[in-house]
Every structure is written in C-alpha cells, then in structure tokens.
Amino acid sequence: MDSQDWTTVVLKKRGYTLSSSGPKKPTIQERKPNNEGQRLAAIEKRIDNNETIVQKKLEPESKKILIQMRLSKGLTQEQADQLCGMPRNSFRELEAGRRLPSGRDISSIQKQLGVALKLV
C-alpha cells in the first residue's frame, strides 16, 4: 500500500438526535410543498371533526360541450392536450370524469377552445 498516492476519507451519515421517543417524524407540512401540505392538513382536520367531504366534479353539460368543441375543431384528445399546454391524457381523463381541472386548465381551455367549464 505504499504506492497509493491518496489519503483515506471516511464518510459518515448524519444521525438523528436521539431522544426518549426515537427520531422525530416529519409533519405533513414538512413532507409536502406548502399548498399541498395545507390542503392535506385541512382535510385531516375535517376528518377528525367527522365532517363530510364533498368531491367536486365537472358538470356533465360542460363535458358534452368540451367534447363537441374539440371535435368541431378537428382535434384529437392528444392534440387538445398539446394545444392547451396540459399533460398527456388530460383530455381523456377530463372527458371520462376521472380528472378535475385546475384553475390553470380551465382558463387554458377557455382561451384555446372557447369552452367555459363549470364545476359542481
């Protein structure tokens, strides 16, 4: 080993500070980005209070109009995704009722296709 021209380096992991209860688990707000963490904390609070959580949906009439406008412009679902700057398969999931559009999605669809989507 006399021919080696480097020095040995030891890497150590940073450990948790030990307490009586073990390592501290991060809270929801620490694990998720701000908006998502706040949303999840609010949902957990509502669950703890036994409140009913109602899931919003895209209005059925809005779905029909969205499909009609997309077809009248001769666009496939993938082309409509690209035109509106949305992730792939977004229109397929919107039209099937499996996806709820964000505010950005609603404004983009209204600008590009001229359809005002309504949530129920």
In order of start, what are the domains of the chain with their CATH numbers? 23-53 (no CATH), 60-113 (1.10.260)
pLDDT for 75 equals 96
Phi-psi map region of 106: left, alpha, beta (phi>0 left; psi -120 to 50 alpha) = alpha
In the numeric block, the tokens 């480097």 are attached to 6
Answer positive or negative: Cα dihedral of 79, 58, 56, 106: positive
Enter the tokens of residue 2: 């006399």
109 exposure class (CB count in 10 Å sphere: 0-12, 13-18, 19+): buried
C-alpha–C-alpha distance, residues 86 and 79, integer Å:
10
Give the global pTM.
Answer: 0.57
C-alpha–C-alpha distance, residues 95 and 101, integer Å:
11
Each of the 120 residues of the chain gets a pLDDT tens digit; together they read 567 777 888 888 766 555 555 566 666 556 655 666 677 777 777 777 776 667 788 999 999 999 999 999 999 999 999 999 999 999 999 999 999 999 999 999 999 999 999 988
C-alpha–C-alpha distance, residues 98 and 12, integer Å:
47
